[in-house]
Structure 1
Amino acid sequence: MTERIVIVGAGTAGIVLANNLSDELADEIDAGDVAVELVNDTEEHVYKPTWLYVPFGEKTPADATRPLAPLVDDRVTLVIDRVDGVDTESKAVSLASRGETRPYDHLVLAMGAQVTPEETPGLAEGGHHFYGPAGATALREELSGFTEGHLVVSVVGVPHMCPVAPLEFALIADAWFRDHGLRDDVELTYTYPIGRAHGIEAVAEWAGPLMDERDITVETFFNAERVDPDDEVIHTVEGRDLDYDLLVAIPPHDGSDLVRDAGLGDDGWVDVDPNTLEARGADDVYALGDVADLPTSKAGSAAHYAAGALADRLASVARGERPTAEYDGKTVCFIESGTDEATYIAFDYDESPVPKEPSKLIHWSKLGYNQSYWLTARGVL
């Protein structure tokens, strides 16, 4: 009887897992003992870190997408459809457009996170963001005509995808305005909800002095309650107001209704064991990437490393062996510190990160990885 592994979502987590499984279980798949099925609601794969560069004219939304099918190993069955239900008791998922269910022996949820600016009154109307092709393109249009005034970069939602991206945006914007001879006419403010500039203490300690040096005002304990798009004011829970001429907000993020409806996490994030990635609310269900509630960053590298560990575990299970591989929280994040320098951090559940001295080499290493990412998605790297 065929052992069926169904993966929902073909972002970084889902596609890396599918291709790793096709490699590790090639003989079993060829023999018909195992089947790996990847279900995604679009025919494209998206590399989200590209969006950071779109507002500054360095990339286009098209640079962030590739056709999905050529990136998926031939041993994986690719299904283009939207999963609109998960039944963990009967072990099946339902497909929206086909009106059918697909059974599974092992289910992996990897649907990512959704941005929900509408959760903060006035934010959708009064703010911009770069967490998607439409938002990044609209922000590019705004920046291209922004020659003076107050630019506010405000982290409204936590947790969010790519946790260092708000800092990167502020630092790139500073350098970009300097390169265009506009920095003296542009006031820059960065806000964060807690008492430092970033949730990771070492990153906050690195960023604070750099922001001071770049004349970027940092406002902490700043939690936006609502935005007045007519008067261009952010009103906070703490009772503070902040005027802006251009608001770049990191909007609230949400998990998935699939997760809520299946009883796998009331807040939309799958409650999982941080090492085995097994869902606590059902047997033979796992979660990867942004939709997993893990004590680490919602970053692409975390999804990549977790996918490798889960592939090893699922391969062992499919062979009837006891799984021993575990995810240790490994994450590596590049951090742009301007338009031509960057640093990086590496950490796991036990090891705290220490940002390296920014350099042009690290900046070009990040850009190089952005190009080679497609080999990672295909399972080559």
Structure 2
Amino acid sequence: MIAVNAAVISGVFLHKITLPPFVPYIHLLVDYHFGFIKRALIGALVSLFAAKVPVWLVFAIGGAAWLVTLALFVLLFRRTFGLDDRQLPLFVLMAGSPFFFKNFMHTLGHFDIYGCLFAIILLLIPARSILFVAGAAAASLLLILIHQIHFLMYLPTIAAIVMLRHYLIYGFNRQNTAVGIAAVAGVGALFLAVQFYGSMPVPADRFTEHLRSRMADPSRPELLSFAYIWYQGLAQELHDTWARMPSNLPGIPVFALLIWLHMPLWRYFADAVRALSDEHHRRIVIAAIVAVSFGYLIIFAVVFDYSRWISNWAVCMFLILHAVKTLPGRDAAPVGAEDGRNQLFGWIVTLIPRVGIVRPF
């Protein structure tokens, strides 16, 4: 199954590089030339090294982020569960899920993967010091500057990781409580600033002219067709999402089926929560899952890229499972490779190439 997953991912990559990277390419062109605006951090960093941005840079940066995330996830899984024969079925269901690396490959160049990457780093580094809380806050600020959607997409998961790895283990004292409150306030303030004051302050033709001046090949104006999103406010996003709702609702049963196909993994997750030795810890974990899921419900109501959101929700659940395993408790029974149903679910999950961006597949 691992070999087949590798082949499927290679196929997804070969298909991806044939598609024009409309939104990801613009993200590399937009910088802080006209002042503080949303979704400009990555482009601003690129502008420090490249006056002209070639299209291939989308795949180079996105591919590098994908490879680093994969390598760190394998390291994380090995540390949390081990990579022996008993745990490989869980690894296949998780890393080979169409929600995870296969869909990150399909959305190569989008910014979703950075939230996952920072969350994995926070699961790998020591959590004993107050510096862990400060590091999580710094990562959260960077993610909002990369794209404000991370406020609901990955920041609740990062908060859950901080709670499970630091506060539940080492408790609350005056110092870490103060830092935590300051972090929440700072992150919230930055999100509000980006969301409501981060629109482009110049006319659209001037903005487009600046983007064209940064293109390595200005003869491809179609790559700038999504420049309007820097002028789109919350009200317009809500209008567009609900206007598309009738055509997107039929995808919900497909998403439900895809989630059900991961049932061996979800059963293991439930067993791991029940295996926690502290009832208080179990309640906090359940509350974290509910909070993260509620954040995604809000995203669903605001932005219509449903395949991306459901995929990232599943990834957040995978990451929370790793955080749960750091809490005191007994080991849950591993996903059994000898179970015929688990094998069937594993093969189906393996053969699904990805979920998509808006509609399923």
Is the TM value for this pair above 0.5?
Answer: no
Give the structure with the higher percent strand: 1
Higher relative contact order (CA 8 A, sep 6+): 2
User: TM-score with structure 2 length normalisation?
Assistant: 0.28
Which is helix-richer, 1 or 2? 2
TM-score w.r.t. the length of structure 1 is 0.27
